[in-house]
Amino acid sequence: MMVFDYLRNLGNQEHPQVLLITVFVAILCLCLIIGHLLEENRWVNESITAILTGCIAGTVILFLSKGKSSHILTFNEELFFIYLLPPIIFNAGFQVKKKQFFQNFLTIMFFGVFGVFISAVVITAGSWWLFPKLGFVGLTAREYLAIGTIFSSTDTVCTLQVLHQDETPLLYSLVFGEGVVNDATSVVLFNAIQKLDVSRVDGKIVLHVIGDFFYLFLTSTALGVIAGLVAAYILKTLYFGRHSSIREISLMILIAYLSYMLAELLQLSGILTVFFCGILMSHYAWHDVTDSSRITTRHVFATMSFIAETFIFLYVGMDALDIEKWKMTKLSFGTLMAIYSTLIFLILLGRAAFVFPLSALSNYLNRKAERTEVITFKHQIIIWWAGLMRGAVSIALAFKQFTYSGVTWDPVSATMITNTIIVVLFSTLVFGFITKPLINYLIPHHETIKIRHGESAVPKDDLNVPLLSFEESTATNIGRAKDSLSLLIERPISTIHSYWRKFDDSYMRPIFGGPVTNQSQC
């Protein structure tokens, strides 16, 4: 009865914080149990389960609190960005299949970076033009720009649970890679917009923002790479495992988190930093620890990421029933529905505006690469659909823009918070439910294309030839450089990948760790 007494008096601030957290953790456990029972149902994934559980829990809390509140925790964007987001992004980098990711790196960058810019422009321009016509006014120029980035951030969980990495490796790597880079790009662009002086926007200011964006992108990436290499070198040199595997695991976790916090301290992108730190750690540091630590790290990182994601979606489901925000909007039901529909339409349009053109561009650039599989029109539809779901990053950015520590008393800001929550709910539930039948219809199981592992556009003999050799004549080296340059022009992606493999085997792995083989997997 103690819990129910607390819920009936939810507005009373005298109750201890520990009870509040205890109730939420109990609901989180219930969510995990329900997710386990629905594990065999591929129509319902973890995101949908958490949101539905949150909605049910919110309804119960709303009833017990007599309409005062539907949630027991107040969303704090700092809590999200400091504690919940790092394990999610780090695990994504740590678990990524690096060979497929870097073989399709150019295409992933097209979708994840330039795609966000295109989508943000479409959503910003569309909302700027349509919202006043619908009777929704009061947003500033910076808030319209923020809306573009908020609703350009994707959540690809639904699609990835249906796709099979072994059957469609190209499609899986594109969807997964783009999803992670997209989130990082959205946050970097959002932070760049916060520094923008919208009172005097001109061509120079826009170029300055773009320059700042790429500066943040590159420096954040470099910091993540350095952190990953430092962790690998320390683990390889000192060999912590001879005394305790706990120290190995702790060091990997702390260095990864340190890289994220250092990036935030330097006003860089912690997401990009910790993502590439995860990639470098899994590529080098993971081979420098004991066998027991290898198994443990994968499970620990995945567990931390899973709990953080479930926590976020559970809160979203509970916050969807926040009566105070709904009362504060002061707009009619018809106007609200028009705004929601407009946002969904702009998301569909903004996504299509870059997926299909950039897919065609990627196929054109790879036309001489002899890649087994191109991005077909069916694949493009799946990639387009995969990015329609909105998730945790959209919620966090919306709260960061329109609330202060999760609370707002402004009707316009309250409307945008409810808009974001409804869009996340609708896109996750409706688009998520349709994902499996859509993919099964477009790519039936018997038609899935299995790419032959280890196949490369570059002849195998070329992989064993060094770029330069001090034991050979200058003429031989110059001739080899000319051949390499022509090969790079004709088949850029596969050639760069093969050169990286040779460089990695010759110089990086002996210093930082990992098996040294001529056919090493990236």
Residue 98: CATH number of its domain = 1.20.1530.10
In terms of DSSP H, where are the helices of 266-322? 270-283, 291-319
Q: Per residue in 123-159, is it b (16+ CB within 10 Å) or e — as a string?
A: bbebbeebbeebebeebeebbbbbbbbbbbbbbbbbb
Enter the DSSP assignment of 160.
H
Is residue 161 domain-resident?
yes
Using an 8 Å Cβ cutoff, are 48 and 310 in contact?
no
Q: How many helices (H) and strands (E) does the chain have?
A: 25, 0
- Do 56 and 195 belong to one domain? no
In the prediction, which pLDDT does 450 show?
A: 44
3-state helix/strand/coil string of 394-448: HHHHHHHHHCECCECCCHHHHHHHHHHHHHHHHHHHHHHHHHHHHHHHHCCHHHC
The crossing angle, in degrees rounded to 10, of helices 245-265 and 203-238 is: 160
Torsion of CA 83, 89, 91, 95, to 10 degrees: 180
Instruction: Tell me how far the alpha carbon of residue 214 is from its chain's centroid.
Output: 18
Is residue 496 domain-resident?
no
Residue 237 main-chain phi, psi, to 5 deg: -75, -45
Q: Compute the 3-state secondary structure of the chain and give helix, strand, coil in percent, each to the nearest 5.
A: 75, 0, 25
Is residue 511 domain-resident?
no
- Do 59 and 105 belong to one domain? no
- Do 174 and 69 belong to one domain? no
In the prediction, which pLDDT does 63 show?
A: 79
Which of these three, 44, 73, 102, is where a domain ends?
Answer: 73
CA dihedral over 392, 397, 400, 403, signed as positive or negative: negative
Enter the DSSP assignment of 502.
H
Is residue 130 domain-resident?
yes
Look up the domain containing 53 and give its range: 1-73
Q: Supply the Cα-derived Rg of the chain in whole angstroms.
A: 24
Q: 295 or 517, which is more confident? A: 295
- Do 59 and 81 belong to one domain? no
- Do 205 and 218 belong to one domain? yes
In terms of DSSP H, where are the helices of 131-244? 141-150, 157-162, 169-194, 203-238
- Do 47 and 106 belong to one domain? no
* 465 CB-side CA count, 13 A: 15
- Do 140 and 255 belong to one domain? yes
* Number of residues written out for the chain: 522
Both structure tokens of 314: 């559970």
Q: For residue 71, which amino acid is it?
A: H
Give tens-digit pLDDT for 310-355.
888 887 777 777 777 777 777 788 888 899 999 999 999 999 999 9
| pLDDT higher than 60, residue 470 | no
Question: Following DSSP, what letter does each residue of 9-27 receive, concatenated?
Answer: TTT-TTS-HHHHHHHHHHH
Is residue 465 domain-resident?
no
**Burial (CB count <10 Å: 0-12, 13-18, 19+), residue 197:** exposed
Both structure tokens of 5: 């007494």
Q: Could you tell me the pTM of the whole model?
A: 0.77
Using an 8 Å Cβ cutoff, are 44 and 93 in contact?
no
Which of these three, 424, 453, 482, is where a domain ends?
Answer: 453
Q: How far apart are CA 259 and CA 228, in angstroms?
A: 9
**How high is the mean pLDDT of the chain?**
77
Q: In a 3-state reduction of DSSP, which class is residue 322? A: coil
Is residue 424 domain-resident?
yes
In the prediction, which pLDDT does 485 show?
A: 47
Give tens-digit pLDDT for 417-436.
888 888 888 888 888 778 87
- Do 83 and 122 belong to one domain? yes
In the prediction, which pLDDT does 477 show?
A: 46
Number of compact structural domains in the chain: 2
Using an 8 Å Cβ cutoff, are 147 and 416 in contact?
yes
The tokens 């720009």 sit on which residue? 145
Q: 500 or 182, which is more confident? A: 182
Between the two ends of the chain, the Cα-to-Cα distance in Å is 56
Is residue 340 domain-resident?
yes
| pLDDT higher than 70, residue 6 | no
Which of these three, 415, 438, 453, is where a domain ends?
Answer: 453
Q: 148 or 466, which is more confident? A: 148
Is residue 225 domain-resident?
yes
Give tens-digit pLDDT for 101-121.
777 888 888 898 899 999 999
Nearest in space to 92 (alpha carbons), one of 162, 182, 186:
182
Collect all residues with Cβ–Cβ distance below 8 Å to 310 and sequence separation of at least 6: 28, 31, 32, 35, 46, 50
Give tens-digit pLDDT for 31-80.
888 877 776 665 566 777 888 888 888 888 777 777 666 666 666 677 77
- Do 372 and 318 belong to one domain? yes
- Position 464 confidence tier, pLDDT thresholds 50, 70, 90: very low
- Do 56 and 106 belong to one domain? no
- Do 347 and 418 belong to one domain? yes
- Do 293 and 262 belong to one domain? yes
In this structure, of 5-19, 20-34, 400-414, 439-453, the range with the lowest mean pLDDT score is 5-19
Q: Per residue in 364-399, is it b (16+ CB within 10 Å) or e — as a string?
A: eebeebebeeebbeebbbbbbbbbbbbbbbbbbbbb
